[in-house]
Structure 1
C-alpha cells in the first residue's frame, strides 16, 4: 500500500513535532511506500521507502503560493490512500484531488477545539482517527480510537540512579499556553517548596503561538512575585532528542491541563517510569489503581501540591513498582509500534 502522509513538518530535532519521524518509520515498516507532503523539513533519519516533499514556500508566503506548491507535489504522486495529520485544513486541501483520483482520506486529530473547519473536514474524510475518546469531540461513525504513538524505546527509564543529595526536580513539559495552567503550577510550587526546600521546578516548552511571548513574561513575573525566583524556571523549547534526559533528571513530572484529550507529554513521562501528577480525568482509566496517587481531577493548588509532595516522598521500592506499572500501560496501549499497526490496518480497510 502506498500512503500519502500530509503533516506540518518532518524534523527529528523539532521540539513540538520531532516524534513525526518515528511515526513515519513505524508506518513505513508496513507500507510499500510513504510519500510525505509537509510545509517544512529538517534533519531526519528515514527508512528508504519514505520520501519527503517539503513545500519550501518562503516565510510569510500566502495561502495561494502554498496551495500551488501543494498541488504540484500531490499531482506528481501515485498513492492509494491519504493520511492527514493534525490539521483539518489538510483534508480540505486534498479532498478535491482525492475525490478525482479515488483516494480515501483519513484525518488524525487530537484536540479539544471542534470548530467549523473540523466539522467540514469530518464530512469530507472517510475515516477519523484519534488517541482517546475525549480527544475528538464531534460525534461521527467515522471515528476510530487508536491510541497515541509514543516511542517507548526512546522514552525509557534511566539506567543511572539518582545522585545522593541531588536537588529534586519537578518537571513540566509543554508549550507555553493558558490551557497548560502554569499559574496553578506556580501556586502549587509555593506550597511544595515551603515543605521541601530542596525542590526546584522547571517548565520546558516554547512560546510559539501569537501572544504567548508576552504571556510567558507574565508567568515569569508571577513566579518571581511568588517568591520563586531561581526556583521556578522556564527553559524554553528543547530538541526532541533531549527530552528523555529531562525526564531522567526529574523526580516527578506534572501536567495541569484540565479534562480533555490525552497530552502525549504525560504518556512520555509514564513511559520513562516517572510519577506524573495530572488533573485530566481522561487518564483515570490508564492510571487504574494508581489514580488516587497521581490524579487530582480539575484540582486546585492545594490538591496538586499534596500529590506532588506524596510523589516526592515515595520510598524506592514503591517508586520502582509504580514506574513498572506506568510504563507497561503505555507500551501496551500507546506505543509507537502498536499505533502504526492500528493506523496501517485502518488505512488498509479504507482501500479494501
Structure 2
C-alpha cells in the first residue's frame, strides 16, 4: 500500500511534535511508499521509501527573522491621523492571509502532483486538510482517514467526518467518538526500550526495597506543551497547598509554548512568583521526544491536568518510564482499573484534591505496592498503547478499506 500522510510538522527534534517522526519511521516498515505533506519541516532522518514535502512554514520563519516579511518601521507620531501601530497590525493581518494562500496552493500542488504515489490519505490532527482536499480525493477514489482527538467540535468537524472513511481518536470523550465512523486507537507510545526493570528505569525512585518518601523532597514533573488547555495553574496551586503542609518538593514544568500561548506561560511564571514558590518550581525548555525517557528517570511523580476529552501521550510515556501518574483525565479510569483509579485520578481543576492525591501516593510508595502498581500499568502500556500496536491496527484498517473498494 502507498500512503499519504498530512500533518503539522515533521522534525525529530521538536519538543511537542517530535514523536510523529517516530510514527512515520514505524509506518515505513509496513507501507511500500509513504508521502508526507507537512506545514513545517525540520530535521528528518527517514528511510528511502519516505518523501517529505513542506508547505513552507519554516521558510516563512527564516524570512521573518531576516526582516523580509516584517512591517516597515514607523515613528510614534500619527501618520495622516492613523496610529502607526494600526498600520503594522494591518500589515501582519495581510501578511498572514498571503502566507495561508501560499500554503493552500502548495497543498493542492502536492496532492495533485503525487496522486499516483498514494491510495490512502491519513490526515493527522488537523481537519482542515480533509476539508480542503476531501472533494478532490473523493473524485480521485482515495480512501480518507482522519485522526482527531479533541473534546470540542463544530459543523466543519462534521463535514470532515463525512468526507472520511474512518475517524480515529484515543479518548472516549473526544468529539469524534460519537460518530459511527469513529474508532478508538492506541496512543502510540514508543516501547522499543530494552529496559525492563524499574531499578534500571528510574534509579531516583526505586532501589529494590520500596521508596520511603517521608522527610525527602518529592521530585514532581509536568512535561508537555505549555497551554491553557493543560491547566498547569492547577498544578501550581496544588504545590502551594503542599508547601503549606510542610511537604518538601521540587516541581519542574518542562515544555515550550506556542506563540499564541506565550502570554499564558508568562502568567504562570508570575503566579509562581506571587505564591513565593520560586525555589520549589522551575520552568525548563522542552526536549525532543527521543530524550524524554531520560527526563522521566529523574522524577518521582508525573502530573497531568489536561481536561477530559484530549489524551496526552506523555501520560503513557511516563508510565512506561516507571513513574506513577496523577491525572484529572476521566478517560484513564478504565486503564487504571478499579484497583488504582481512585488513587491516580483527581477532580478536574481541583488543586486541593490533587495535593491530597500526591500525599496518598507518598504513603502508597512506602512499601512494595507502589512498585507493583507501576509494573502492572507499564505492562498495560506495552500491551495496549504501543506504537507497534497502533501501526498494526492502522495497516489492517487501511487494508480492509482498500479491499472493500
Q: Same fold (TM over 0.5)?
A: yes
In the aligned structure 2, how far is the partner of 1:154 from the partner of 1:11? Answer: 21
SS at match of 2:7: strand
1:108: Cα distance to partner?
Answer: 0.5
Contact 2:189–2:317, Cα closer than 8 Å, also in 1 = yes
1:253 equivalenced with 2:295 (yes/no): no
Q: CA deviation at 1:280?
A: 1.4
Q: Structure 1 residue aligned with 2:139, among 86, 93, 100?
A: 100
- What does residue range 131-142 of structure 1 map to in structure 2 within 5 Å? 131-137=170-176, 139-142=178-181
SS, match of residue 173 in structure 2: helix
Q: Which position in structure 2 is the counterpart of 1:222? A: 271
Q: 1:14 to 1:205 in 2, by over 3 A?
A: same
> Which is worse superposed, 46-55 or 57-66?
57-66
2:37 is equivalent to residue 37 of structure 1: yes
Aligned to 1:309: 359
1:88 Cα shift?
Answer: 0.4
Mapping for residues 312-351 of structure 1, pairs under 5 Å? 312-313=362-363, 314-315=365-366, 317-351=368-402
Q: Where do 4+ consecutive residues of structure 1 move more than 4 Å?
A: 154-158, 163-167
Gaps of 5+ in 2: 61-95, 208-214
Aligned length: 351
TM-score, normalising length from structure 2?
0.81
**How far has the Cα of 1:92 moved from its partner?**
1.4
State the structure with more CA Rg.
2
CA distance in 2, matches of 1:325, 1:223: 35
Residues 38 and 280 from structure 1, CA distance in 2 versus in 1: closer, same or farther, beyond 3 angstroms?
same
Q: Which runs of 5+ in 1 are unaligned?
A: none
Residue 26 of structure 1: how far off its partner (Å): 1.6
* 2: CA distance, partners of 1:259 / 1:9: 25
Partner of 2:78: none
Give me the CA root mean square deviation: 2.2
Q: Deviations over 1:104-144 (max 9, x none)?
A: 10000111121232122111111111113222346321111
1:1-352 to 2 correspondence within 5 Å?
A: 1-56=1-56, 58-59=59-60, 62-77=99-114, 78=116, 79-137=118-176, 139-153=178-192, 158-159=200-201, 161-162=203-204, 167-195=217-245, 197-210=247-260, 212-288=261-337, 289-298=339-348, 300-313=350-363, 314-315=365-366, 317-352=368-403
Deviations 1:146-186 (A, max 9, x none): 22111123596544522899843100112222222222211
Partners of 2:335 and 2:111 lie apart in 1 by 39
User: TM-score, normalization: structure 1?
Assistant: 0.93
Q: 1:324 offset after TM fit, Å? A: 0.7
